[in-house]
Amino acid sequence: MEQELIAEHVENNVQRKKMAKQEKEVKEPKKEISLYDLPGVGAATAEKLIASGYTDLMSIATAPPSELIDATGMGDALAKKLIAIARSSLEMGFETGEELLKKREQVIKFTTGSQALDTLLGGGIETGAITECFGEFGSGKTQIGHTMAVRVQKQIPGAIVVYIDTENTFRPERIIQIAEAEGMDPKEALQNIKVARAFNSDHQMLLGEKVEDLIKKQNLNVKLVVVDSLTAHFRAEYIGRGTLAERQQKINRHMRDLSRLGFLNNVCVYVTNQVMSRPDMFFGDPTAAIGGHIVGHASTFRIYLRKGKKGTRVAKLIDSPSLPEGEATFSVETGGLKDV
Ligand code: GTP
Ligand code: MG
């Protein structure tokens, strides 16, 4: 009996691999080589790679060897060899300025509801990039996330929003209020937001990796991914100097995943970040973003948010590839972000 079951299990596995291979061939007729053709990669290893999100050669070409080793248990030499083969088969690396301009033309800018903030951001929050908002508690980081979750749907009807909530601050009621203010169907707006509560930093990282499945496997038109907050779990879990390097390494990997997700799928990634007090700083702004330069370098746009006069909010653009630094004042209202 037991042996029969094992035999059946083995047979099923063989069938599954065959089907996976055929499916792969049907889906990607043009690609010259697929995962399954990589030397040293059997069906089992290919499946492990796919299960870990390495579904195509591009994802292997851009992965560090250690991640392939973690995913499959393969040796260091093989991992490096696979990456080299994937790289050489992809003609990656250089694009002409013209090609990049074409890519830039596909970038969508989602408006925020405040013209002042849009102007500061060069038109709105962009797809293909990470926009990071950092600031003290109550400065409006979460409210921007809620507002964008609705506005993205207004700009692209039917667009899907993924909301990774680490602090249990996602409020459907706020979505309803903002959608109503925008003249949208609140029920539909809620249906198009996929909320996932992340219980710890590893869970958060896993959720980040799973977004690609929604796009590739479920064919969802994901246009915005919110991670609110990016750093809270990491901050709580890795305390003390000794664990700082590990924390930074993990945040780094998480940011890289998000960045790749945004870039390869033309998705807008919005992350929030707290500030930590810097009692050692007496001059200038005594605050610094958690995660420091690791988060900062991976974000394409960084906005520092603070409370302004009479309940307003002041956004300062800290870092951007092509925009001048500057400030914008807006307010958070029941209907979302508005100019003052
Ligand atoms: P932390 O997550 O604690 O770091 O703060 P945050 O930056 O995410 O702050 P959040 O976005 O939650 O901002 C909270 C503030 O938004 C509140 O203090 C209110 O001023 C404002 N706010 C939230 N909801 C509403 C609303 O329904 N109407 C209005 N007018 N303001 C709101
Ligand atoms: Mg918040």
Q: What CATH number has the domain bearing residue 50?
A: 1.10.150.20
The pair of three-digit structure tokens given for residue 55, joined into one six-digit string: 């579904």
Q: Tens digit of pLDDT for each residue in 71-115?
A: 889 999 999 999 988 888 776 567 788 888 888 889 999 999 999
3-state SS, residue 56 = coil
Question: Closest Cα to residue 328, out of 153, 125, 108?
Answer: 125
pTM value surpassing 0.85: no
Domain that holds residue 69: 35-89
Residue with the nearest Cα to atom 29 of ligand 1?
333
Q: How far is the CA of 229 from the centre of ligand 2 (A)?
A: 7
120-129, 243-252, 257-266: segment of lowest average pLDDT: 243-252
Number of domains in the chain: 2
In a domain, 279, yes or no: yes
**Considering only CA atoms, which residue is closest to atom 23 of ligand 1?**
143
In a domain? residue 332: yes
d(CA 85, CA 57): 9
Query: Of all atoms in ligand 1, which is nearest to the CA of residue 140?
Result: 11
What is the predicted pLDDT for the residue at 34? 81
- The verdict on 79 and 190 lying in the same domain is no
Q: From residue 331, give the alpha-carbon distance in Å to each of 145, 219, 309, 314, 337.
A: 14, 36, 10, 9, 6
- Predicted pLDDT of residue 10: 59
Are 275 and 157 in the same domain? Answer: yes
Structure confidence by residue, pLDDT tens digits, 17-41: 555 555 544 444 444 578 888 888 8
Asked whether residue 146 falls in the same domain as residue 251, the answer is yes
Distance from the CA of 320 to the center of ligand 2, in angstroms?
23
- Domain check: are 156 and 212 in the same one? yes
On the question of a cis peptide bond just before residue 114, with omega within 30 degrees of 0, the verdict is: no
User: Residues 54, 128: one domain?
Assistant: no
Residues 6+ apart with CB under 8 A from 95: 103
Alpha carbon of 178 to ligand 1 centroid (Å): 13
| Nearest CA owner, ligand 1 atom 21 | 332
76 with 196, same domain: the answer is no
Same domain (yes/no): 140, 68: no
- Indicate whether 130 pLDDT > 50: yes
172 assigned to some structural domain: yes
Based on the domain organization, do 184 and 54 belong to the same domain?
Answer: no
Q: How confident is residue 15, by pLDDT bands cut at 50, 70 and 90? A: low
User: Do 75 and 148 fall within a single domain?
Assistant: no
Residue 141 alpha carbon to ligand 2 centre in Å: 5
Task: Please write the tens of the pLDDT for every residue from 204-232.
Answer: 999 999 999 999 999 999 999 999 999 99
Q: Is the CB of 171 under 6 A from ligand 1?
A: no
| Edge-to-edge strand list for the sheet holding 160-165 | 193-197, 160-165, 222-228, 268-273, 129-135, 301-307, 313-319, 326-333, 336-339
Element at 282 (helix H, strand E): none
- 229 domain-assigned: yes
- Cβ of 145 less than 6 Å from ligand 1: no
Q: Quick check: is 20 in a domain?
A: no
Q: Which residues contact 22 (CB under 8 A, 6 or more apart)?
A: none
Does the pLDDT value for residue 323 go beyond 50?
A: yes
In a domain, 12, yes or no: no
